[in-house]
Amino acid sequence: MSRSPLGKSNSKRTFIRKLVLDVVKPHEPDIVEVADAISKLDGVKRVEVEVRDYDSNIERLKLIVEGDDLDEDDIMELIKYYGGNVASVDGVTVESEEFID
């Protein structure tokens, strides 16, 4: 059992269900390849990518990842692997469930 920031006992587990990311990446690999790779991560059910802006070298993406229990670190690491950088986390949905020890 963990403690909340308020010092109370906490018998809940939290899950990241949705991340909205502002990503800057080179044109290659294309967005289909990146979205496909992210969709194969554990817990991911849906990936949506929208090109927001681009120039001769880069494109700026709105990346929405949804699932049951997203691992933010794995997603960020994969984006970096493909040459991208997360400029900001623009949204998040977190749910919690009570558990019994």
Question: For the residues of 3-31, what is the DSSP string, one character each?
Answer: E-TTS-EE-EEEEEEEEEEEEEEESSS-H
Residue 1 resides in a domain: no
Residue 26 resides in a domain: yes
Cβ(90)–Cβ(58) under 8 Å? no
Give the per-residue pLDDT at 53: 96
Residue 54 structural domain: 15-96
Residue 59 resides in a domain: yes
Domain count, the chain: 1
DSSP bridge partners of 54: 59
Dump pLDDT digits (tens) for 53-89.
Answer: 999 999 999 999 999 999 999 999 999 999 999 999 9
Residue 68 resides in a domain: yes
What pTM was computed for the model? 0.85
Please give the structure tokens belonging to residue 98: 């009570």
The domain that contains 37 carries what CATH number? 3.30.70.1340
CA distance 67 to 84: 21
Terminus-to-terminus CA distance in the chain, angstroms? 8
